[in-house]
Amino acid sequence: MKQIFYCLIFPGFLFSAVIGLLTGWVDRKITARLQWRIGPPWHQNFTDIIKLLGKETIVPAGAKYTFLFSPYIGLISAVLAATYLGRSIIAPLESFSGDLLVLFYLLTIPALALMIGASASRNPLASLGAAREMKLVLAYELPFILAIITVIIRSNGAIQLGQIIRQQLFFGSNVFSFSGFLSFLVALFCVQAKLGIGLFDIAEADQEIMSGTLIEYSGLPLAVFKLTKAVMFYTLPLFIIVLFLGCSLSPLFLIAKYLILLAIIILIKNTNPRLRIDQALKFFWRIPTLLGVIAVILALFGL
Amino acid sequence: MSHKIIVPIGPYHPLQEEPEYFQLYVEGEKVVDIDIIIGYNHRGIEKLSESKHFDQVPFLVERICGICSSSHPYAYCLAVENILGGEANIVPEKALYIRTIIDELQRIHSHLLWLGLAGHFIGYNTVWMWAWKYREPVLDMFEMVTGNRNNYAMFKVGGVRRDLKDEDIPILKKMLDELSPGVDLFRGAIMDDPVIKMRLKGVGVLTRQQVVDWCVVGPTARASGVNMDIRRDEPYGVSDRLDWKVILEKDGDIFCKTIVRILELYESISIIRQSLNKMPKDGPIDAGVKDIPAGEGIGRVEAPRGECFHYIKSDGTNRPVRHKIRSPSFMNVASDKVSAVGGTISDATLTLAAVDPCYCCTERVAVINKTDKCKVMNGWDLIKLSQEKTLKLKEGYYGRPE
């Protein structure tokens, strides 16, 4: 019963979706203010989702179960990730050894679900978007793993979120060391790519392939994808905070850190054009991967 | 990966505001061929023009395009004045200056508009919004001078319709002064941004030879090092009395096209400043042309997108017998065939936008030669589809009509 409550209400589905949608609103509002616009009211994202729920679901000929189920797979894994993460912040001792790895896998699945759904939709633009998403995943996963490895090394080989948080509680946040700072930068770029915003808004590039992966989705499945994105928008910055800014996770500090991190992400998003997919691949395999390797080596030397 | 798929850009696409259809044949992400299909929004303006009298035609031709809505009437007026003996001989001094000011203001607003759209196309929405914010004062200037933000209705054969008020001139100068920092901002933001350079450098290249082969005009040609500018080659207005230079770049890629347009903003601002300073305080603004004799005339104007050409044939009545328009985008859009092929889809969309296409200028009657099985929808087909959909919806609400 308790587990179901965790998963569905707090800190799982309901909580993460609401916070994620509000985060999306913060993003839209800050973006709008940067661009001398007014921006939407706070409930705009909720209205969008509710509106989508009432729309007709159009299924392209020949696409069936995979097309309709993949959004839910993405949402479920994102929500599970949010639940694990939330629980390990609230009760660090409750977590089990290896939950970091589980979380890492769960955070990858929404991208996979997007690819599978897009490929199932039998649209050339969607398949282009899926191909781009696939290349992007290949590009950012390696540096992301390196960044996580740095954290693992810094917390004496613990692959448990609770351990990592406790370690930072005693020895200060990871980001205040050389290796921690480098891998924090790497993770910041990976989060942008995972969210598909700003520099890495490649798979959904509106002006190029008409929101590629999502082109055939409408109504409820589209709303589910949007919700997945919102949940990810809440989970990923939180994940970064737990990994790199983990000292003192009291609610007030947590919210402050979250908002600052969000502001950084939004600023990067709004001051850069979109990269081409090959450029994104080159970028990730050169700079962040190199930085990640350096960070791992530095961490091995205890810096 | 020899599997060719068609990626449609248009007729309805987020990239473009106007209906135009680019068929990209792609292998993976690479564009191997491109088909440009026009004719979705043909309005028959040349034919319409033959049914209007000479004074009405400027209002018609300025509605060809909302962006170059002074170039077309200007070129038309030049063509008619060519029959009468040339602009410089007929049009009063002050009107010449006002014409130049309006023409250059239009260039500023058009280039800023393109700059914003280009930012939007590379996913840089901040540049988009900022460029359009700086464009707003330019439109305000238009509103002050002509009463309209677009479709200025300033041009008439033999002069201009409205005078530039003396009390407006200091305000215009002040607004121009406030515009320059904005342009500086864009020059800095675009010329120094590494990511923009990555996206635009070496993309969509038009070599000098290709420019000549495909008759490309305007800033697109100047970015490839082709030294052409109607304002200098065949001066009109007061462009030969002022101090300005033609901006040239060598490489012909999208980055150069952007730079040319940004630097042209400075030249335009300088031209307007000089014109405002040199303009005679008073004097007539209209020559009061009554009759157009029989004859033929041409008018050429450097529109923001390139050479805008109008041909008028008169038989001595009050209507043109033939009015032929060749707009710059019609020449420039075709060059996508060489510049977009070979790049990726991401580059192709930029390349299509880099010539600053104005599709309402490009529209012609399209005759489609059906040789393969693939069905191409024309504008009428789309209207029919839409009507069928409406019928279907109506059936849903009211039941099938008896």
CA distance A71 to B9: 27
Span B155-186, pLDDT tens digits: 888 888 888 888 888 888 888 888 888 888 88
Which of the residues B200, B345, B347 would you substitute to probe the A interface, choosing the one with the greatest number of A C-beta atoms within 10 Å? B345
Burial group, residue B254, by CB count within 10 angstroms (0-12, 13-18, 19+): buried
Q: Which residues does chain A have within 8 Å of residue B123's beta carbon, measured at their own beta carbons? A: 198, 201, 205-207, 273-274
Give the number of beta-carbon pairs within 8 Å between A and B.
Answer: 77
Residue among A31, A273, A277 whose CB faces B122 most closely: A273
Flag whether pLDDT at B17 surpasses 60.
yes
Residue among A124, A270, A277 whose CB faces B7 most closely: A124
CA distance A100 to A149: 10
Instruction: Record the tokens describing residue A57, joined without a space.
Output: 């679901």
Flag whether pLDDT at B152 surpasses 50.
yes
CB within 8 Å of chain A, chain B residues 44-103: none
**Taking a C-beta distance cutoff of 8 angstroms, is the pair A288, A148 a contact?**
no
Task: Report how far apart, in Å, the C-alpha atoms of B202 and of each of A235, B187, B256, B293, B340 are.
Answer: 39, 19, 9, 52, 12
Burial group, residue B225, by CB count within 10 angstroms (0-12, 13-18, 19+): middle
**Taking a C-beta distance cutoff of 8 angstroms, is the pair B323, B77 a contact?**
no
Span B68-113, pLDDT tens digits: 888 899 999 999 998 888 888 888 888 889 999 998 999 999 999 9
Flag whether pLDDT at B2 surpasses 70.
no
CB within 8 Å of chain A, chain B residues 125-144: 125-130, 133
Flag whether pLDDT at A203 surpasses 80.
no
Contact call for B196 and A201, based on CB within 8 A:
no
Residue among A34, A207, A270 whose CB faces B14 most closely: A207
CA distance B156 to B293: 17
Contact call for A35 and B346, based on CB within 8 A:
no
Contact call for B7 and A209, based on CB within 8 A:
yes
CA distance A94 to A165: 12
User: How close is the nearest chain B Cα to the Cα of A292, in Å?
Assistant: 22
Flag whether pLDDT at A255 surpasses 60.
yes
Which of the residues A276, A278, A282, A283 would you substitute to probe the B interface, choosing the one with the greatest number of B C-beta atoms within 10 Å? A276
Q: What is the pLDDT of residue A41?
A: 92
Three-state SS letters, chain B:
CCCEEEEEECCCCCCCCCCCEEEEEEECCEEEEEEEECCCCCCCHHHHHCCCCCCCHHHHHCCCCCCCCCHHHHHHHHHHHHHHCCHHHHCCHHHHHHHHHHHHHHHHHHHHHHHHHHHHHCCCHHHHHHHHHHHHHHHHHHHHHHCCCCCCCCEECCEECCCCCCCHHHHHHHHHHHHHHHHHHHHHHHHCCHHHHHHHCCCCCCCHHHHHHCCCCCHHHHCCCCCCCHHHHCCCCCCCCCCCCCCCCCCCCHHHHHHHHHHHHHHHHHHHHHHHHHCCCCCCCECCCCCCCCEEEEEEEEECCEEEEEEEEECCCCCEEEEEEECHHHHHHHCHHHHCCCCEHHHHHHHHHHCCCCHHHHCCCCCCCCCCCCCCCCHHHHHHHHHHHHHHHHHHHHCCCC
pLDDT-derived band of residue B1, with 50, 70 and 90 as boundaries? Answer: very low
Flag whether pLDDT at B262 surpasses 50.
yes
Taken in order of first residue, the domains within chain B and their CATH numbers are 4-39+362-398 (no CATH), 45-356 (1.10.645.10)
Flag whether pLDDT at A188 surpasses 70.
yes
Domain extents for chain A? 2-300
Higher pLDDT, A7 or A195: A195
Which of the residues B16, B120, B195, B199 would you substitute to probe the A interface, choosing the one with the greatest number of A C-beta atoms within 10 Å? B195
Share of chain A above pLDDT 90, in %: 10
CA distance B402 to A2: 61
Terminal-to-terminal C-alpha distance of chain A: 44
CA distance B231 to A209: 39
Which of the residues B16, B122, B346 would you substitute to probe the A interface, choosing the one with the greatest number of A C-beta atoms within 10 Å? B346
Place of tokens 């050429």: B300
Q: Give the residue on A whose Cα is nearest the Cα of B351.
A: A208
Q: ∠ CA(A293), CA(A296), CA(A298), 5° rounding?
A: 110
Tell me phi and psi for residue B293, to 5 degrees: -70, 165
Contact call for A270 and B126, based on CB within 8 A:
yes
**Taking a C-beta distance cutoff of 8 angstroms, is the pair A183, A292 a contact?**
yes
Q: Which of A17, A14, A15, A21 is nearest to A44 (CA)?
A: A21
A30 touches chain B (CB under 8 A): no
**Taking a C-beta distance cutoff of 8 angstroms, is the pair A214, A60 a contact?**
no
Span A10-27, pLDDT tens digits: 787 888 889 889 998 999
Q: Which residues does chain B have within 8 Å of residue A37's beta carbon, measured at their own beta carbons? A: 129
Contact call for B195 and A199, based on CB within 8 A:
yes
Q: What is the pLDDT of residue B334?
A: 85
User: How close is the nearest chain A Cα to the Cα of B130, in Å?
Assistant: 6
| A125 CB-near residues (< 8 Å, 6+ apart) | A209, A210, A212, A215, B7
Burial group, residue B192, by CB count within 10 angstroms (0-12, 13-18, 19+): exposed
Contact call for A36 and B199, based on CB within 8 A:
no
pLDDT-derived band of residue B366, with 50, 70 and 90 as boundaries? Answer: low
Which of the residues A31, A208, A209 would you substitute to probe the B interface, choosing the one with the greatest number of B C-beta atoms within 10 Å? A208
Contact call for B130 and A209, based on CB within 8 A:
no
B188 touches chain A (CB under 8 A): no
Span A79-94, pLDDT tens digits: 989 888 888 888 877 7
Q: What is the pLDDT of residue B374?
A: 65
Share of chain B above pLDDT 70, in %: 95
Span A172-183, pLDDT tens digits: 777 788 888 888
Q: What is the pLDDT of residue B166?
A: 83
The stretch B290-312 carries a mean pLDDT of 89
Higher pLDDT, A196 or B16: A196
Task: Report how far apart, in Å, the C-alpha atoms of B240 and of each of A226, B41, B77, B307 are.
Answer: 58, 37, 18, 17
Residue among B124, B193, B346 whose CB faces A205 most closely: B346
Q: What average pLDDT does chain B have?
A: 85
Q: What is the pLDDT of residue B368?
A: 64
Instruction: Record the tokens describing residue B197, joined without a space.
Output: 């350079």
CA distance B91 to B98: 11
Q: Which residues does chain A have within 8 Å of residue B346's beta carbon, measured at their own beta carbons? A: 202, 205, 208, 274, 276-277
**The model's pTM:** 0.84
B119 touches chain A (CB under 8 A): yes
Give percent helix, percent strand, percent coil of chain A, each to the nearest 5. 75, 0, 25
The stretch A235-256 carries a mean pLDDT of 84
**Taking a C-beta distance cutoff of 8 angstroms, is the pair A22, A45 a contact?**
yes
Long-range Cβ contacts of B11-15 (<8 Å, 24+ apart): B11/B40, B11/B377, B11/B382, B13/A210, B14/A206, B14/A207, B14/A210, B15/A207, B15/A208, B15/B121, B15/B349, B15/B352, B15/B353
User: How close is the nearest chain A Cα to the Cα of B133, in Å?
Assistant: 8
Looking at residue A212, the DSSP 8-state letter turns out to be G
Instruction: Record the tokens describing residue B299, joined without a space.
Output: 């008018």
The stretch B256-282 carries a mean pLDDT of 89
Q: Which residues does chain B have within 8 Å of residue A206's beta carbon, measured at their own beta carbons? A: 14, 123
Q: What is the pLDDT of residue B282?
A: 83
Span B182-241, pLDDT tens digits: 888 888 888 888 888 888 888 888 888 888 888 888 888 898 888 888 888 888 888 888
Q: What is the largest CA-CA distance in chain B?
A: 73
The torsion angle over the Cα atoms of residues B57, B59, B61 and B65, rounded to 10 degrees, is 180
A273 touches chain B (CB under 8 A): yes
Residue among B14, B15, B126 whose CB faces A271 most closely: B126
Instruction: Record the tokens describing residue A82, joined without a space.
Output: 């949010």
